[in-house]
Amino acid sequence: MGLTKNFNLSGYMKMMVISTVAVLFSYLLIFFVGNYAVLYFSYDFDIGAWFDISGVYFEQLRGSALWTYDAEVTIFLSKPLIALTIAVISLSLLLLINNLKISFFLLLLWMNIVSFNACFGLFVDDFIAQSGLVYVAERMKINMLAMIFSLAITTFIMIRLGMVNSTIFSLLLPEKKKTGLYIRGVAVLVVIILPWLFSLLLIVAFAHSSFDLRIHINTVPTFLILLPFFYDKGKDIKNMEAKKIEITICDWVISGILLALSVVLYLSMLSPIRIWGA
């Protein structure tokens, strides 16, 4: 089965490069901002903490008197709430701004996907690891049955979010409603799946020896968001038209800047980052 004449394979291959840079930058930025928020509130509660590319570490054990109810709730909820805020803003910009450059379009799309995954995926990850938000649930005296139910709701929400993002992604397809599953699958593979996998491989390859793979790769939650991309065309988005696949010099310049910022973020997290008091 061949590709249709309307399918600009060369354009999609260029988008794969731009998309890889976008997802790498989005991941590193959200990882940095989310962990810095944890540091900020930890400092506010006099709890020593620091983070690097491998995650956040606390100097006081959980049994310490400093780990009050307010401290646990505030510190452990700060990261998903920051991620949720970024996700809502990026999704709103995608829906409200027309005629975005391909580079900005893919950046906002990935910021949206990565942020929602950082928010809701954290529930899944902490439930498996029995840490973080599980501590908050224990403080709130939420039983295991309620936690499992919340996990099911979270899974449903992530699939629905995937369908929303799938609809937005359809704007990059040659004929949104007429594009077959084969063409759609190729586009998703080239523009979404491969860039996502490449970015993960880059992060793993350049991480130091203390790198904890579980912290960085919430594979199952991410797949819940990406799975609908393969089959869900979604409804038409009001006031939004399919984008012309045209990669300009401006797109490459923006991608170059994002790549440079990604390197800066990565290098800054090779050493421990702390908030020091006056």
Evaluate whether residue 4 is within a structural domain: no
How much is the pTM?
A: 0.82
Evaluate whether residue 177 is within a structural domain: yes
pLDDT higher at 220 or 47: 47
Mean pLDDT of 58-78: 82
Which phi and psi (to 5°) does residue 54 adopt? -95, -5
Name the band, by pLDDT with cuts 50, 70 and 90, for residue 142: low
Evaluate whether residue 50 is within a structural domain: no
Evaluate whether residue 182 is within a structural domain: yes
- Give the pLDDT of residue 6: 55
- What is the tally of structural domains in the chain? 1
Q: Which of 3-17, 71-85, 133-147 has the lowest mean pLDDT?
A: 133-147
Q: From CA 217, how far away is CA 219, in angstroms rounded?
A: 5
Mean pLDDT of 103-109: 93
Name the band, by pLDDT with cuts 50, 70 and 90, for residue 222: confident
* Most confident option among 3-17, 46-60, 245-259: 245-259
Q: Is the pLDDT of residue 3 over 70?
A: no
Evaluate whether residue 2 is within a structural domain: no
Name the band, by pLDDT with cuts 50, 70 and 90, for residue 136: low
Distances (CA, A) of 188 to 133, 176, 231: 32, 13, 10
Evaluate whether residue 113 is within a structural domain: yes
- Give the pLDDT of residue 170: 80
- Give the pLDDT of residue 209: 45
Q: Where does 170-270 have alpha helices with state H?
A: 181-188, 194-206, 213-216, 219-226, 249-268
Q: From CA 14, how far away is CA 188, in angstroms rounded?
A: 14
Evaluate whether residue 69 is within a structural domain: yes
Q: Where does the chain have alpha helices with state H?
A: 9-44, 69-96, 102-129, 133-139, 144-169, 181-188, 194-206, 213-216, 219-226, 249-268
Evaluate whether residue 273 is within a structural domain: no
User: What residues make up the domain containing 20?
Assistant: 9-45+65-268
Q: From CA 258, how far away is CA 278, in angstroms rounded?
A: 33
- Give the pLDDT of residue 131: 55
Name beta bridge partners: 273. 51
Q: Give me the count of residues in the chain.
A: 278
- Give the pLDDT of residue 194: 93
